[in-house]
Structure formats: C-alpha cells, structure tokens
Structure 1
Amino acid sequence: MSARRPEGANGWLSGILGALLMLLGVGLGAMTEQSAITSRMAFNRHGGEVLDLADAQGPQAGQHGYMVRVAGDIDVVEQPYDADFGQRINTPVLVRHVEMFQWREVRMGSDVHYEQDWVDRPVDAAGFARPAGHANPGAFPITGKQFDASLVKVGGFALSPPLLHELPGSDFITPSASKMPENLAASFSQNGKYLTTSANTSHPRLGDLRISWEVVPIQQVTVFARLDGDRLVPAADADDGKGFDVQLGDRRLVDVLPDVPEPPSMVAVRRVLAVLLAAFGALLLLWRRLPSDRALPVALGAGLLLTGAVAGVMWLGKDLQAAAFWFLAAVVGLAVAVWRLHGAMERR
C-alpha cells in the first residue's frame, strides 16, 4: 500500500500549476464544444449534419436522413419521351416549346403599330387598340409541355423532382423529323432546330406553328440535399426555407454553404486532451494528499467530471442528446472520484 506523501517546500507550486492545468483543460473543452455548437447550428439552418460523399457511388447503410454533398456527371437512367412527336432525348428534363405566327401589338409611346411574329401563347386581338384586320387564330392545337426523365442519378444517388428541376443550363436541340408519327409528319417539316407547319419557312403564314425542344445538358454538378433511402430530397425542416442546392461543377461544401464555418478539426483528440489536462491538473493538486493508487483514478474522475459538466451545460437547449452524453460522462467521472475517495477515507 502506498503512503501519503508529506508536504514539501514546492507543494504550493504544484497546487498553482495544477489549478492552471485544470482551467486550461476546461477552457480547451469549452472552446472545442463552442466550435462544434457553432458549426452544428449553422448546418441546422440548412437541414442538419452534413456528410461529404463526393467520392461515393451510392448510398450506404447508416446515411439515411443526413444532409449530403455529392458531385458527379448527370446520369440519365430512363430518358424522357415526347410521345406526340416521337422524340426521346438523353437529358434529365425535356421541354417542348410551341409558338404560333400571330399578330401582335407594339406600342412606342403614343404610336401603335402591328406586326406578325412567333409568339408562345395565344394573343387575343380583342384587346388591341385597332382589332380590325388583326384577328388571330385563337387557341393552339398543340401545347407546350415538360417531360422529366423517370430516373436521373448523380454520384449513384437518384434525384427527386425538385432537384431535377433545379439542374442548371439549357440547350436547344435539333429534333429528328423521321421519328414523328405519320399524322404529324404530313403537317410538319424540319427547319433547323424547329419543326414547322410553314410551306415556305422564309415566309410563314398567320396561324403557322413551330415546335422546338429545350434540354438540360449532361454535365458535372454538385448536389446538396437530404438522403431519403436512395434518393436526394429537399430538407423540409430546413430553416433557410429551401433545404437543398444544385450547382454547376464540382463545388466544395464551403462554396455550396458560404455562411457555414469550416467544421472544427480533430474534435475527438481535442476532447480527450481537455479531459487529460484537467485530470493532470487535479493529479498535481491531489498527489501530496492521497496515496498514488488513489490519486490517479480520483484525478481522472475529476477531469471527466469538470469537462463533462461544462460541455453538458453548453449543449443544453441546442442538442439534448449531446448534453445527455456529456452529463453522463460527468456522472461517471463523479462516481469514479467518489468511489476512490471513499476507499481512501476508509483506510484512514
């Protein structure tokens, strides 16, 4: 059994150093938790804790419900199809535009004149200042429409419709007239990137139609969203009111969420170091007051008690699970310290 050490001339120096080390440990723990809290609260504005899955090739177990960042080329698994015109395109979103050659009214100050042009909606000539001689055909026989691909992935993750519709960029494609059904092929002919009903494409007539298709190009994108099974969806509970983002190219998380600070590094190491510093400080205070076989566990318990209690208080009202974890750690530290102190008291 180890005997208690007698007080020496340097005992007060050990006491001061021990107190300083305990304060340093508690301070390091508080700074670490504050950084973690600041980062957590910032991420919560956008939906919660984020997993950076830029190099992943699909969802893994345990990732459900997390906000994630994924990057990669758009992969259209099931292409959209415009059955009316037989157009199937390798794009996540296909939009059919329909225009009619119509009269339109042009006002420049008090001057009013009329010209014929392609317009993507029916123009009601009844509202013209001079409707006589400027009547338009009325409703379109064919309307514009959007076609979404049934399955689009980025980095192995399927995109939900809200994310699909946020994919950036657009191009107009040249349609394939040979794929049109026979009934439409008799009415439409190809003119560059348009299918038109004009007999003379250089001189269209009133009521002629022209059809074009706009697509979202296949390109590299970065997606920030919540993982729901194997799909990326908006975070409905995000404080920013959006809960997702889609950007062109491979963008870092700090570029996608510029208002969120960099997550603290080496959090686990800093937490362990905080406990050890506080414990070593307690050991210096106890070393000359308790036997060595008692001082060490009591000091470790005291270090865990102090850092755990401070961290638990800091997490209150922000994350009850984190607060409960730290309070449990503090209780364990208290139990160890009391247990060994009680043993020391019994031996006296």
Structure 2
Amino acid sequence: MGMSDSNDGGVGGDVFTETTQQSWFSRIGNALVGLILGLLLIPAGSVLLFWNEGRAVQTARSLTEGAGLVVSVSPDEIDRAREGRLIHVAGTLTIPSPPRDAEFNLVAPAGALRLFRRVEMYQWQEESRSETRNRLGGGTETVTTYTYSRGWHEGRIDSSRFHQPEGHQNPQARSTSRNWNAENVRLGAFRLEAAQINEISADQDLGEATRYIGQDANAPRLGDMRVSWRMARPEALSIIAAQTGDGFGPYATRAGDRLMMVERGRMPAAAMFAAAEEDNAILTWVLRLVGALVIFFAFSLLFAPLKVVADIIPPLGWLVGFGTGLLAAMLTLVLAPVIIAIAWLTFRPLLAGAIILVGL
C-alpha cells in the first residue's frame, strides 16, 4: 500500500489530500478476512431477528397484562393497600423550587421540572471525503480530502485525533453541557424520583437566557463559548408504575418485563398502553430492518472476493459487483423471512399456524 499527502489549502492550509494505493494482492487478503467476518455475521443477524420476535411478543404480553391489572387512583392520597400494585396516576405537579445552574447563577422559571444547559465552543472541525478508483490490474487508488473549518460545536472535539492536528488544536472547554432536576417534586401525594423525571425531555427554550463567553459575538475566536438553556415545564404528568411507598417503581410482569411509563399531561391509562404498543411495533420493524441489513452485509462480504478477482479488468469488476450485490439482496429476502417465520412458530405458534392454514 502506498501513501502520499498534499496541502491544497492555499494560504489557510485548511484542506489536505491523502492518496493511497492498494495492490490487488492486498485487496484479496482483505476480502478473505471479510469473508470470515461474513460467515460470523450471518448467524449474528439471524439471532438478532429471532431474538427481536421473542422480545416483541414478551413486550406485547407484558402490556396486555398491565392493561388488565392497572388501577387508576387519585393522586391526592396514598392507599397503602395498593403497595406493589400497578397503578395509574394523573395530576398536577407541585415543584417547591425550580432547578438552578449555580455556575451561571441562573434559576429556571417557577414550575420548571428540568433544566438543561447547552454549551457550544467555537473550534476546529474536520470533515473527510474519499473517492476510490479502480486501476488496471486489480489495484485501487483512494484520494481522501480533509477539510478543516472553524465553527460552533457542542462539546470539545478532540483535535489530537485529526488527520492533520498541527495548526488545528482546540483549547480546553471552560464549561460543559449539563442537566438538573427539580427536587422534592410531588404528583399530588406521590413523590417523584429521577427515574420518572428523566423521562421528560427539556425542550422549551428559555428565550433571552443566553450567555456569550468571549470578546465579540459577531467575530468569534477560537475557544469562545455560547451558552443557552432549555427547560421542561409540564403542568401535569401521567404515570403508570408500581406503587412503592410514597413513590413509584417499575412493575415486574409475569412475562419478564418491568413496566413504568411517564407521559406529559393528563392521559388515560388506555391511551398510555396504546402508545406503548405502537412504540413496540415500531421498534420491532426497526430491528427487523437492522437484522436484514446485517445479513445483507454478511452476504456481500462473502461474495467480495469474486469482485476483487474480476477487478483485474475494471468494467468486469463492476458487472460482477452488481451481480453479487443483487444475489446478496435475493438471499437476504429469502433468509430473513424464514428466520422470522421460525421465530413466529416458536413464540406465536397459534397465530403462525392460522396464517399457514389460511395460506393453504
């Protein structure tokens, strides 16, 4: 493998290119390593698909169980007879004192449940773009362009990991992003802990509450910082959880899950379970897609040596690559549904059997 660097940044020196050459024999070696990885990823993707179907069924059973057991109670008093039972509480929050950012001496408005401080620093950022060309004989040439620019970014970027760190060092941050929760929060007679409060995101800007750390906001310099705040100020919350003392805890279902749901506003228990079922369905399809992509990538790795061999003549390599990609997609479309079907026969035998009978 060969390598060369050049600076195309002109006066600023902020654009660098790196050219690398990889021989055909090196590519074959990498493709064979990828083939071994592909052999491992096919069962990994299959296990993910199988596990996901079991997870979806377990979650659905837990939600069905919870929906049948939950009892809506008044937030105004705690009935000790319901200790450990699954309850639904909806009501107005009582927040004695809102959260405070002591570093900047900023107190959130009355009624704020959470406070989030976002700190951005003006610093160097690296972007890279690569272009690979096949060469006659099966080798490749890759040209990577690294572009350095200054801009605002939350959190300090580690400039020591840049391809060209010299002249692009970022200073240490003088402050960092943080979250605060209000203390002694009550939902009627019930006490809220961080486990419930953290379920509510701080998504409301504090408007004029911004700070600039530097000389001139219109001409920022390296290391300047700008600080803004967001808060969560829900007037009411709805919670489904196990009654634990004067607070809430996760409810252990017979299916093996731990239920605890928190939503803004006053939401009926049925609506909260319906939303949870929808989330479960979405997650199931997302993981199905991820599992299928893992299997497709694995098959692509298995066929990669064929493309490398054909790349001795670049046009032939493109045709073989297209064909092996199409074959990988077809095999994925066969294997993934088979794995899901086997999982259904394992976790949903009655439904799977009914579908088979209808198909016959």
Give TM-score, length-normalised by structure 1. 0.51
**Shift of residue 206, structure 1, vs aligned partner:** 0.3
Q: Which residue of 1 aligns with 2:100?
A: 81
Are positions 1:145 and 2:166 aligned together? no
What is the alpha-carbon distance in structure 2 between the residues aligned to residue 152 and residue 122 of structure 1?
A: 33
Q: Which digits, 9 at most, give the CA deviation of each residue in 1:55-79, with x for residues without a partner?
A: 4423134232221111123332332
Are positions 1:66 and 2:99 aligned together? no
**Shift of residue 169, structure 1, vs aligned partner:** 5.3
**Shift of residue 207, structure 1, vs aligned partner:** 0.5
User: Taking structure 1 as reference, are residues 164 and 238 closer, same or farther at Cα in structure 2, changes over 3 Å only?
Assistant: farther
User: Taking structure 1 as reference, are residues 259 and 206 closer, same or farther at Cα in structure 2, changes over 3 Å only?
Assistant: closer
What is the alpha-carbon distance in structure 2 between the residues aligned to residue 49 and residue 212 of structure 1?
A: 44
Are positions 1:233 and 2:254 aligned together? no
Q: Which residue of 2 aligns with 1:281?
A: none
Q: Which residue of 2 aligns with 1:324?
A: none
Are positions 1:101 and 2:122 aligned together? yes
Q: Which runs of 5+ in 1 are unaligned?
A: 1-40, 175-191, 262-348
Which runs of structure 2 are paired with 1:214-293 in the superposition (5 Å)?
Answer: 214-235=230-251, 239=255, 241-258=257-274
- SS of structure 1 residue aligned to 2:258: coil
**Shift of residue 44, structure 1, vs aligned partner:** 8.2
What is the alpha-carbon distance in structure 2 between the residues aligned to residue 195 and residue 249 of structure 1?
A: 32
What is the alpha-carbon distance in structure 2 between the residues aligned to residue 143 and residue 42 of structure 1?
A: 40
Q: What RMSD over aligned residues (CA atoms) do the two structures have, in Å?
A: 2.9
What is the alpha-carbon distance in structure 2 between the residues aligned to residue 65 and residue 166 of structure 1?
A: 21
Higher share in strand: 2
Higher share in helix: 2
User: Taking structure 1 as reference, are residues 47 and 205 closer, same or farther at Cα in structure 2, changes over 3 Å only?
Assistant: same
For 2:105, give the aligned amino acid: G
Q: Which digits, 9 at most, give the CA deviation of each residue in 1:261-300, with x for residues without a partner?
A: 9xxxxxxxxxxxxxxxxxxxxxxxxxxxxxxxxxxxxxxx
For 2:126, give the aligned amino acid: E
For 1:99, give the aligned amino acid: E
Is contact 2:155-2:177 (8 Å) kept?
no
What is the alpha-carbon distance in structure 2 between the residues aligned to residue 127 and residue 171 of structure 1?
A: 35
What is the alpha-carbon distance in structure 2 between the residues aligned to residue 86 and residue 239 of structure 1?
A: 48
What is the alpha-carbon distance in structure 2 between the residues aligned to residue 260 and residue 118 of structure 1?
A: 37
Q: Which runs of 5+ in 2 are unaligned?
A: 1-60, 131-143, 278-360
What is the alpha-carbon distance in structure 2 between the residues aligned to residue 86 and residue 260 of structure 1?
A: 39
Q: Which residue of 2 aligns with 1:49?
A: 69
What is the alpha-carbon distance in structure 1 between the residues aligned to residue 255 and residue 230 of structure 2?
A: 34
Q: Which residue of 2 aligns with 1:318?
A: none
User: Taking structure 1 as reference, are residues 168 and 246 closer, same or farther at Cα in structure 2, changes over 3 Å only?
Assistant: farther
**Shift of residue 214, structure 1, vs aligned partner:** 2.0
**Shift of residue 142, structure 1, vs aligned partner:** 2.1
* Correspondent of 2:152 among 89, 111, 118: 118
**Shift of residue 259, structure 1, vs aligned partner:** 9.6
- SS of structure 2 residue aligned to 1:134: coil
User: Taking structure 1 as reference, are residues 100 and 150 closer, same or farther at Cα in structure 2, changes over 3 Å only?
Assistant: same
Identity of aligned residues (%): 24
**Shift of residue 42, structure 1, vs aligned partner:** 5.8
Q: Which residue of 1 aligns with 2:41?
A: none
Q: Which residue of 1 aligns with 2:187?
A: 154
Give TM-score, length-normalised by structure 2. 0.50
For 1:246, give the aligned amino acid: V
Q: Which residue of 2 aligns with 1:167?
A: 200
Q: Which residue of 2 aligns with 1:34?
A: none
What is the alpha-carbon distance in structure 1 between the residues aligned to residue 101 and residue 248 of structure 2?
A: 26
What is the alpha-carbon distance in structure 1 between the residues aligned to residue 220 and residue 275 of structure 2?
A: 53
What is the alpha-carbon distance in structure 1 between the residues aligned to residue 75 and residue 100 of structure 2?
A: 30
User: Taking structure 1 as reference, are residues 199 and 169 closer, same or farther at Cα in structure 2, changes over 3 Å only?
Assistant: closer
What is the alpha-carbon distance in structure 2 between the residues aligned to residue 214 and residue 259 of structure 1?
A: 26
Is contact 2:75-2:187 (8 Å) kept?
no
What is the alpha-carbon distance in structure 2 between the residues aligned to residue 238 and residue 83 of structure 1?
A: 45
**Shift of residue 215, structure 1, vs aligned partner:** 1.3
Is contact 1:254-1:260 (8 Å) kept?
no
Q: Which residue of 2 aligns with 1:213?
A: 229
**Shift of residue 108, structure 1, vs aligned partner:** 3.7
What is the alpha-carbon distance in structure 1 between the residues aligned to residue 70 and residue 249 of structure 2?
A: 14
Is contact 1:222-1:250 (8 Å) kept?
yes
- SS of structure 2 residue aligned to 1:101: strand
User: Taking structure 1 as reference, are residues 128 and 227 closer, same or farther at Cα in structure 2, changes over 3 Å only?
Assistant: same
User: Taking structure 1 as reference, are residues 87 and 163 closer, same or farther at Cα in structure 2, changes over 3 Å only?
Assistant: same
Is contact 1:173-1:215 (8 Å) kept?
yes
For 1:49, give the aligned amino acid: L
User: Taking structure 1 as reference, are residues 96 and 140 closer, same or farther at Cα in structure 2, changes over 3 Å only?
Assistant: same
Is contact 1:162-1:234 (8 Å) kept?
no
What is the alpha-carbon distance in structure 2 between the residues aligned to residue 151 and residue 211 of structure 1?
A: 27
What is the alpha-carbon distance in structure 2 between the residues aligned to residue 140 and residue 195 of structure 1?
A: 15
